[in-house]
Structure 1
């Protein structure tokens, strides 16, 4: 998706004194015109580098003046000539950097560079940020604005390009600037040991509070950890996976649990590791062998950045919120942030962190100015236009996010307040929260549902208003002849896996085979179903034969039993010619509307054991693939959150699911039931714990 801007431009609007004739006034006017013409002529003759330098100085002056605007007052218009220097658009990776020493594309002529006058208005009030971004959507304005920011090497990188240091650079066109590079304490007796591909970056009113680094090689692990120790870094932000698109993006610089590694004079030990859907936290202890000093370091590893493009801002903001809410080390040193090259994702995160602090303190943000500020310290920070857009939306998300997280100890009290609230529904606190959930749903245009509404697939949808978007739909890969890759299903996150659930509609007579193909293709071995009557489950196991067929599949029922709370359990062996058979366990809850809290709790308990033994996604089935599916997944995630982190944020958990299918939680009763069920679960576990 592309977002655009309207760049405000106008003629000067300052006061004009009337000239009442007179030769003196005419002469003054002529002199002014001549001076302006001479200035413009000389400006055109200046080398591009000198012009950009002068413009940057002028921009800094204007930015300082603009940042003084408070309380809604608007300064007089300020104008400056800005070079529209074209540059190559980067791909959505952190390692493709144009190899050149200026922002100019090959073949361009400085003398033909076009100049125009624009009003410099880059400071935005937080309460106006949403409307500001909307205006920027016109004509790809944010992309255009991004292109006005100097790109490519702007300062010397002499040290990085020395022969002895080149092997320490992951990418041969991304080097740290000499004036801000991190200088390691040299190893005695070993020359050329003060270099690492990393820069110091200023934050909001804090100098050199960030370290922006590339992902380390195996042969730079010692340097990497020495940098962490030297700068007293207690938090590491990692924004890349070790492998992406079959390429090594970063080497694994932390040990396995229980197996310390020794790097130089440091002993590194992994203490704990907690996995969530979009990130992993690792507690690491570091000990100096000589001094015996020990430090605890937390690595926050964001794993949901797609190979190409940018993550949904909600995931990034929730990750950032988790990082800043952790005050385990109030005296920590510089925050280390790295991805692969240490510029694109790294710049985006640092921008979010620093600008969020700026907005929180001042009520305003200046995104353009801060990106320029970062690029003064390290080249090409916020590497692509899409990352620039993502930064805007992440800031909007961060500033509008409310605190809806509830601790385990407080949840019972909160639920009792909800349960006794007998005000008109429009005045109830939880109902207002639900309406806020509805207001934040993703909006998809008709053009984003091409597969679901195509002639060959339209009749495969039980409810024509609940269909998957092209970006979120689940694909079949081994469909039979005459079928397509379409099924009305979406992937959804669990609390610990980015793809923890496959949510789908109850199959139609014509889509039974597609259902089993999905189970096979996506390696799901556990199914949770919500049905109105037992007869609705006929396609699964209501048959007089122990073995039956569906297309190219053969299913053999090996076990049937009725569990408590009207839950039926069935074990099916699924096989297809020339393929290894697999065992599927189906839990079927019979309910006329929404399931009772006791049923939801029992289902979660039953699948938790199976999920802990495998990494397979759980398939969740309901009539239209939305009602009860979103409820179950959100409730299960809330239970996991309470177990892992001793708190739960039902509101944000529901939002994350709605990113995949906006039709989840269509009414308030379903949303309220999620709170009720979680309270029931906590009370039940507390009772059992007291025995």
Structure 2
């Protein structure tokens, strides 16, 4: 690979395998191409390395033709800016280019064009529309703005704050618009009908940090907005987004259309998501369900710029990567901004787009339709005699590569001296952002417990709470009170124990016992094959007005300490189904489940993954082991620790399909 020459602009660098993924000496965002491969659904072949590209960082080793630092800085300065500068950092220059595009350059060009009469956006024609703009800085380019059909007698009724956005070789594939306000709901539905949109993508919540970001523009049942009748047909809640299906009909028309709203609910109030895993799954679902002959996809956040731009940029780059094997994120966003200002508003969002693309191409699309799973599983589990490896093994190695690395500063609470004796191992700590801080007061005990709220790939029919599982270690003698406080504070109706009784018993065999402020009363017990079922009634003695709660304790005894996996696939599947049945019968799915093994690691993660995969089969008719485990590891890196546990998830999925 040659080093860039004077005057070059770095846009794409090609390598051959994902093991050769490298970090550029030029501190630049680069595109990295990998050989195209068919998806699993098409051929059963491994699709993990279809195309890979990403954000590169400086690294000294492994880079050929490396020049001296001074010469490199001079060369990079010429590449990044066309003249010698003192910064010496192309990454800084990249940010400056991005920042300039975000602000000064566009504003200067816009003011110049307006003075010369070349465009009409933000002109007097739009001043009357300022009352229906969420963000007055989002001014519309006249050549891309969506014009509504005029209403009788109103020459200004063609206005809506929306722009056509080109997709990858698809003119006007999207409409970027602001989130509907009370005054614009009717206009929004007029636009959806006029443009024959079959998909609405919503990348905001209705209220964030106490501020209304968008009004609820859809009905609970049926509502008429202007002359558009909208009827809600179905709501499908998933872990990070909701899919709502509607029918729409215009007054005086016999045609009834169906459309879907894809509502991404996991974008945080501030910044960007920690990981792009959820957004990538969301984008794939939109792609899969949007009809090929439909009109533009209507995308909105609040102002229709930052998050909207992120969604569209990632979608376009995924298409470009699949077709060309490279991406050009900088020029993609620059083109988006030529069609609507401020698309991808912040540097943080700009970096997130790169991270999302990197994750997408490293991980690929690993979902397998249930109708093809048996054949695909046979292919990917087959051992190659030449390499003594299988595609499942390669997949697990890729999973280890993309698993986030937890730094000491990420686990600062668990590392506090007062919490040391609450950890079974200082090597198995939960990140601060995932900790379930205890609420019930227990003397001078801290509110820390070594546990993690676990995100999953979907919302369980048996668990309607977000973060359906809380994974923790087997209680220590000094943390039993904390354990039961966790169960009570987080409304947990089930406990799943996956380790043998080689640690302290934390429940009473009869009568009742107090663990800290929580009274635990034994109700009943029975054993069925590999599962011991116990029912307890718990109460917070410091707050008796809160009443009692029933908790079922499932002790799984079919997993010996010497084995990475359970003895029986059928037994663990039986445990999964019993848990789901209890959750649904007892509290309608409103409770969470505490899952623990000795350390809160591989066994607990394997069980959570199997639960998620079993639910995925029933809800979505797919199996996606990789994505399931990747999502769990985003919150706790030791979920599904070994290759044997990872393969076991596939085997249980096959067992589940055979049992239907």
TM-score normalised to structure 2 length: 0.80
Instruction: Map Cα deviations across residues 529-566 of structure 1 (whole Å, 9 max, x no partner).
Output: 11202x74621233x4x111111221222232223423
The Cα of 1:440 is off from its aligned counterpart by 1.8
In structure 2, do the counterparts of structure 1 residues 379 and 406 end up closer, same or farther at CA, with 3 Å as the change threshold? same
CA distance in 2, matches of 1:460, 1:658: 22
CA distance in 2, matches of 1:196, 1:298: 21
Are the counterparts in 2 of residues 133 and 392 from structure 1 also a CA contact under 8 Å? Answer: no
Q: Which has the larger radius of gyration?
A: 1
In structure 2, do the counterparts of structure 1 residues 280 and 145 end up closer, same or farther at CA, with 3 Å as the change threshold? same
CA distance in 1, matches of 2:140, 2:498: 57
Instruction: Map Cα deviations across residues 607-626 of structure 1 (whole Å, 9 max, x no partner).
Output: 22344413322211111011
In structure 2, do the counterparts of structure 1 residues 419 and 305 end up closer, same or farther at CA, with 3 Å as the change threshold? closer
Map of 1:627 onto structure 2: 602
Which one of the candidate residues 263, 269, 282 is aligned to 1:319?
282
Please state if 1:646 is matched with 2:659: no
Report how many residues are paired: 574
Point out the more displaced range, 501-510 or 281-290.
281-290
The Cα of 1:466 is off from its aligned counterpart by 1.2
In structure 2, do the counterparts of structure 1 residues 261 and 206 end up closer, same or farther at CA, with 3 Å as the change threshold? same
Map of 2:364 onto structure 1: 402
CA distance in 2, matches of 1:628, 1:264: 55
Are the counterparts in 2 of residues 123 and 364 from structure 1 also a CA contact under 8 Å? Answer: no
The Cα of 1:416 is off from its aligned counterpart by 5.0
CA distance in 2, matches of 1:382, 1:160: 27
CA distance in 2, matches of 1:416, 1:572: 46
In structure 2, do the counterparts of structure 1 residues 122 and 635 end up closer, same or farther at CA, with 3 Å as the change threshold? closer
CA distance in 2, matches of 1:215, 1:665: 40
Map of 1:570 onto structure 2: 535
Which one of the candidate residues 475, 494, 500 is aligned to 1:532?
500
The Cα of 1:178 is off from its aligned counterpart by 3.5
Map of 1:439 onto structure 2: 401
Map of 1:548 onto structure 2: 513
Give the secondary structure class of the aligned counterpart of 1:233: coil
Instruction: Map Cα deviations across residues 516-535 of structure 1 (whole Å, 9 max, x no partner).
Output: 222222222222111202x7
The Cα of 1:646 is off from its aligned counterpart by 0.7
Which one of the candidate residues 191, 203, 207 is aligned to 2:167?
203
Map of 1:255 onto structure 2: 219
Which one of the candidate residues 472, 475, 482 is aligned to 1:507?
475
CA distance in 1, matches of 2:641, 2:656: 23
Instruction: Map Cα deviations across residues 5-60 of structure 1 (whole Å, 9 max, x no partner).
Output: xxx999x68xxxxxxxxxxxxxxxxxxxxxxxxxxxxxxxxxxxxxxxxxxxxxxx
In structure 2, do the counterparts of structure 1 residues 638 and 200 end up closer, same or farther at CA, with 3 Å as the change threshold? same
Map of 1:88 onto structure 2: none
CA distance in 2, matches of 1:70, 1:554: 63
CA distance in 2, matches of 1:463, 1:643: 37
The Cα of 1:504 is off from its aligned counterpart by 0.5
Map of 1:134 onto structure 2: 57
CA distance in 1, matches of 2:477, 2:351: 44
Please state if 1:184 is matched with 2:167: no
Which one of the candidate residues 581, 584, 587 is aligned to 2:554?
587
Point out the more displaced range, 164-173 or 265-274.
164-173
Provide structure 2 residue ranges, at least 5 long, that are not aligned to the other structure. Answer: 16-25, 35-50, 60-88, 111-119, 460-464
CA distance in 2, matches of 1:304, 1:558: 39
Are the counterparts in 1 of residues 583 and 591 from structure 2 also a CA contact under 8 Å? Answer: yes
CA distance in 2, matches of 1:120, 1:571: 58
Instruction: Map Cα deviations across residues 604-654 of structure 1 (whole Å, 9 max, x no partner).
Output: 212223444133222111110112111111101001111111111011100
Give the secondary structure class of the aligned counterpart of 2:159: coil
CA distance in 1, matches of 2:391, 2:52: 26
Are the counterparts in 1 of residues 29 and 56 from structure 2 also a CA contact under 8 Å? Answer: no
The Cα of 1:498 is off from its aligned counterpart by 4.2
Map of 2:575 onto structure 1: 603
The Cα of 1:284 is off from its aligned counterpart by 1.4
The Cα of 1:420 is off from its aligned counterpart by 7.1
TM-score normalised to structure 1 length: 0.77
Please state if 1:226 is matched with 2:190: yes
The Cα of 1:423 is off from its aligned counterpart by 5.3
CA distance in 2, matches of 1:285, 1:243: 26
Please state if 1:165 is matched with 2:129: yes
The Cα of 1:443 is off from its aligned counterpart by 1.2
The Cα of 1:380 is off from its aligned counterpart by 1.0
CA distance in 1, matches of 2:133, 2:99: 26
CA distance in 2, matches of 1:598, 1:342: 49
CA distance in 2, matches of 1:124, 1:419: 31
Are the counterparts in 2 of residues 526 and 584 from structure 1 also a CA contact under 8 Å? Answer: yes
Are the counterparts in 1 of residues 439 and 447 from structure 2 also a CA contact under 8 Å? Answer: yes
Are the counterparts in 1 of residues 181 and 214 from structure 2 also a CA contact under 8 Å? Answer: yes
The Cα of 1:669 is off from its aligned counterpart by 1.4
Give the secondary structure class of the aligned counterpart of 2:246: strand
Point out the more displaced range, 412-421 or 461-470.
412-421
CA distance in 1, matches of 2:627, 2:29: 31
Which one of the candidate residues 168, 177, 181 is aligned to 1:217?
181
CA distance in 2, matches of 1:395, 1:414: 26
CA distance in 1, matches of 2:163, 2:304: 9
Give the secondary structure class of the aligned counterpart of 2:646: helix
Please state if 1:558 is matched with 2:520: no
Give the secondary structure class of the aligned counterpart of 1:281: strand
Give the secondary structure class of the aligned counterpart of 1:683: helix
The Cα of 1:228 is off from its aligned counterpart by 0.8
The Cα of 1:449 is off from its aligned counterpart by 2.1
Map of 2:42 onto structure 1: none
Which one of the candidate residues 245, 258, 265 is aligned to 1:296?
258
The Cα of 1:306 is off from its aligned counterpart by 0.9
CA distance in 1, matches of 2:194, 2:630: 41
CA distance in 2, matches of 1:120, 1:528: 47
Which one of the candidate residues 637, 647, 650 is aligned to 1:672?
647
Point out the more displaced range, 445-454 or 152-161.
152-161
Are the counterparts in 1 of residues 475 and 504 from structure 2 also a CA contact under 8 Å? Answer: no
The Cα of 1:248 is off from its aligned counterpart by 1.6
> What are the residue-to-residue correspondences of 1:262-277 with 2, within 5 Å?
262-277=224-239
Are the counterparts in 1 of residues 454 and 471 from structure 2 also a CA contact under 8 Å? Answer: yes
CA distance in 1, matches of 2:357, 2:378: 34
In structure 2, do the counterparts of structure 1 residues 671 and 547 end up closer, same or farther at CA, with 3 Å as the change threshold? same
> What are the residue-to-residue correspondences of 1:411-560 with 2, within 5 Å?
411-415=373-377, 426-494=388-456, 495-496=458-459, 498-533=466-501, 536=503, 538-542=505-509, 544=510, 546-560=511-525
